[in-house]
Amino acid sequence: MWEADSALDLSDFLRAGYDRFSGQYPKFHKMDALSKLGWLAAEVLLKDTAIASLAPEQTGMVLSNRSSSLDTDLRYYATVKDFASPALFVYTLPNIVMGEISIRHGFKGENTFFVSPAFDTALMCSYPAQLLAETPLQACICGWVEVMEQQYEVALFLVENTQRNNSILLTEAALTALYQQNNSL
């Protein structure tokens, strides 16, 4: 689909991704790296889906990562001794990435962010499935979005109640296979 120059640092990589997949969304430049990474992945994930046809309350999110918002927390802390940055402060929570994705796509469904040492396929299979079964949600974006300094990783999946032509049944094994496929790229 797209391969960036491996020599790019994270900031330049995210800008290149924005130029490639989006543009015309100036708020992107104000986001922290975690939000930019998750937001860009959502742009790619949702590009050719029918999710826009759902009511705002029918799409939710369950995301996770290892470092929470620590990368931005440290950047914010570094500004405190001089002039504390309001623009950085608003990103000192990991769930803000879900807010940015929700604003972009108009989602108003339930969302939850978990912090765990590694991508928990059992949780990421069972929890979205439970939400789809027991709440008004008809679609749920789930996955992993991690940033710490120059190390980053993102893997988002779209889970829906409605079966599509190219969809696969949500099982722990299927999600594990998809995640490992992502890691092998």
Write out the residues near another protein by the rule CB under 8 A: 26, 29-30, 83, 85-87, 90
In the chain, which ranges are continuous DSSP H helix?
10-21, 33-46, 70-80, 86-89, 96-105, 121-134, 172-184
Q: How far is CA 19 from CA 35, 42, 97, in A?
A: 16, 15, 19
**Sign (positive or negative) of CA dihedral 148, 44, 58, 105:** positive
Q: Nearest approach, Cβ of 76 to another protein (angstroms)?
A: 13
Between 31 and 98, CB nearer to another protein: 31
Cα separation, 152 vs 35, in Å, equals 12
Q: Nearest approach, Cβ of 90 to another protein (angstroms)?
A: 6
Between 26 and 117, CB nearer to another protein: 26
Q: Nearest approach, Cβ of 23 to another protein (angstroms)?
A: 9
Q: Nearest approach, Cβ of 87 to another protein (angstroms)?
A: 6
Between 90 and 93, CB nearer to another protein: 90
Between 13 and 157, CB nearer to another protein: 13
Between 76 and 127, CB nearer to another protein: 76
Residue 34 in contact with residue 147, Cβ under 8 Å?
Answer: yes
Cα separation, 71 vs 82, in Å, equals 19
Q: Nearest approach, Cβ of 84 to another protein (angstroms)?
A: 8
